[in-house]
Structure 1
């Protein structure tokens, strides 16, 4: 019985072998030949000009990203983190910047809003830039 099963299996393989063919063709893969070289600066701007975000004010972080490399930076995102939670401070934790072409500079303004109940306190911000292929610059602390 065992020999009959082996013979049947071998026969099926022989009959099906001509139908199993590898396809021929060409695959083109586009790879950026050189990586981006990203640097980032952050500036805090607020309406009263005293570098303090007062109650019911909206300031902004001005994020400037320069790509001095010869390759594009893809799917860039700015991630904002605060060392400690401040009640009454609103901001986006992650902001999409998109693709930054080689040799270009991109500027994005990110609003920071203080409501009327914000306490008097110091805030330490860390802004990290993330690039899809891992070509991230060093985070900036403000």
Structure 2
């Protein structure tokens, strides 16, 4: 049986600010993110199984990415957890419910590494995370490949 790759696209809206960055992204700003998730595996060959012929049910992939990424970040403000941001996070948390603090600078690159870890641990046996692509804008994106991270 051949190894097959499946890709599903997701989108979410989120804001962030890059702490101590030396450009415009230091300010609070938002993006319409587009995330492409590619998994790979061999289609189920068991003709008595309801998933026969599938590497993975697209619905299961949608649920996993929805829970681990989209529902967590959609319409949220992503902020690095740090002493410099502590007072700001406390103040924003009193007013807004969608503040997500992370232990890294919330760049496109770092977000991908976080997403990869979250998604990979939820995939069914025999299915591997192959690649992620995160578009921050229509013309700017970062990519993560499993083969580069072994």
Relative to the length of structure 2, the TM-score reads 0.30
| Higher share in helix | 2
| Higher share in strand | 1
Relative to the length of structure 1, the TM-score reads 0.31
Rg larger for: 1
